[in-house]
Amino acid sequence: MNIQQLYEFCLSKKGVTEHFPFDEDTLVFKVGGKMFALSSLSDWEKGTPSLNLKCNPEHAEELRAEYVAINPGYHMSKIHWNTVDFNSDVSVKMMRELINDSYDLVFKSLTKKIQNEINEIEN
């Protein structure tokens, strides 16, 4: 998966917007105003891309034990976030599943009102 594929995949989800809230380097994807994925553009340029994703705490621990590329979230809550390195032992299919899981966790945490607004806009 390259940066363009990541970008298109994340933006294809309902209600997703892109932001640079921290600096000009950190691309953040949000749904309903809440982050579900972020990545450093300069790391992509250096050839060492990674993606921070929200994760269920128990599942996060399991993933970290199973994959070399999955570590506690860099500059994030180590309980709820993982950093996933690209170009390692996580397949593109698995990366998409992890992105989907992160998006779903954040979407489900939104108020019913915001969830309905997002669903109405997309329909």
What is the DSSP track for 40-56? EHHHHHHT--EEEEE--
What pLDDT is attached to residue 75? Answer: 87
User: Does the pLDDT at position 123 exceed 60?
Assistant: no
Residue numbers of the domain that contains 62? 3-112
What is the DSSP track for 16-49? EEEE-SS-SSEEEEEETTEEEEEEEHHHHHHT--
Q: Kindly state the average pLDDT of the residues 27-31.
A: 98
In a domain, 123, yes or no: no
What pLDDT is attached to residue 65? Answer: 96
Chain segment 30-89, per-residue pLDDT in tens: 999 999 999 999 999 999 999 999 999 999 999 999 999 999 998 898 999 999 999 899
Q: Whole-model pTM?
A: 0.94
Token duo for residue 118: 């997002």
In a domain, 119, yes or no: no
In a domain, 45, yes or no: yes
Looking at residue 95, which CATH number applies to its domain?
A: 3.90.1150.30
Q: Give the type of residue at 82.
A: N
In a domain, 122, yes or no: no
In a domain, 39, yes or no: yes
Q: What's the mean per-residue pLDDT of the chain?
A: 95
In a domain, 100, yes or no: yes
- Residue with the two structure tokens 């180590």: 78
How many domains does one find in the chain? 1
